[in-house]
Structure 1
Amino acid sequence: MNLPNIISELVKAQNEFDSAAYANCFTEDAEVFDEGKNHKGKIAIQNWIDLANKEYRATMKPLDFNESGCILSAEASGTFPGSPVVLKYHFQLSNERIKYLKITT
């Protein structure tokens, strides 16, 4: 599967539980929507993913990538109820960084 470099970097950062590297995949004013909550800005995104990493220890296994919609389907496994689950990561990219990410089931 041929993923944009920044999405490959995000998957690697997630699987290594590297919150700083994960946040660095985003623009300064990026926004993440997950579990009904918005996280706006790199600092908020880093705080969100750091907490999620500590609580859920989730890893991502890419399954499919819809290039035209910029949607990654990935199996998420971790210490959360219902693991593993297939999630969809809806990306908007800007200047080789992630501007917006919405995570859905």
Structure 2
Amino acid sequence: MELPQLVAQFVETQNTYDSEAYVTCFTETAIVHDEGKTHSGKQEIRQWIEDANEKYRSVMKPLQYEESGSNGVLTAEVSGTFPGSPIVLKFHMGLKNGLIDSLKVTG
């Protein structure tokens, strides 16, 4: 599947558990909504992804990507050390200046 560079980097950094490179996909003021919690700014996002990587060791396999204006939705099969693995999740991205400004993960 051909993905835009930013989305491909987002997937690659998740799959290699590189939290430093992962946060470079986000704006300084980005907001992430996942598992009922909100994480604001790169420092909180880095802490969130480090915790999630340690807890779940999740890897994503892109299934579909759609982009419309400043919004993108990545549908991916996510597997890891969590109950129900693998599952299909949607990553709803708000895009700004070539970076992710908001991310909401839904089932």
The TM-score, its normalising length taken from structure 2, stands at: 0.94
Question: 3-state SS of the aligned residue for 2:22?
Answer: helix
Partner of 2:9 in structure 1?
9
Which residue type is aligned with residue 3 of structure 1? Answer: L
Structure 2 CA distance for aligned equivalents of residues 74 and 30 of structure 1: 21
Q: Where does structure 1 lack aligned partners over 5 or more consecutive residues?
A: none
Partner of 1:59 in structure 2?
59
Cα RMSD, aligned residues only:
0.9
Q: What pairs up with 1:81-96 in 2 under 5 angstroms? A: 81-96=83-98
Structure 2 CA distance for aligned equivalents of residues 93 and 40 of structure 1: 15
Structure 2 CA distance for aligned equivalents of residues 8 and 63 of structure 1: 12
- Deviation string 1:17-43 (CA, Å, 9 cap, x unpaired) is 011111111000000000100000000
Partner of 2:34 in structure 1?
34
Displacement after TM superposition at 1:67 (Å): 2.0
Partner of 1:80 in structure 2?
82
Question: 3-state SS of the aligned residue for 1:48?
Answer: helix
Structure 2 CA distance for aligned equivalents of residues 99 and 34 of structure 1: 14
**Structure 1 residue ranges, 4+ long, deviating more than 3 angstroms after superposition:** none
Question: 3-state SS of the aligned residue for 2:105?
Answer: strand
- Deviation string 1:72-103 (CA, Å, 9 cap, x unpaired) is 10000000111000000000111111000000
Structure 1 CA distance for aligned equivalents of residues 3 and 102 of structure 2: 16
Q: Which moved more, 1:83-92 or 1:67-76?
A: 67-76
Q: Where does structure 2 lack aligned partners over 5 or more consecutive residues?
A: none
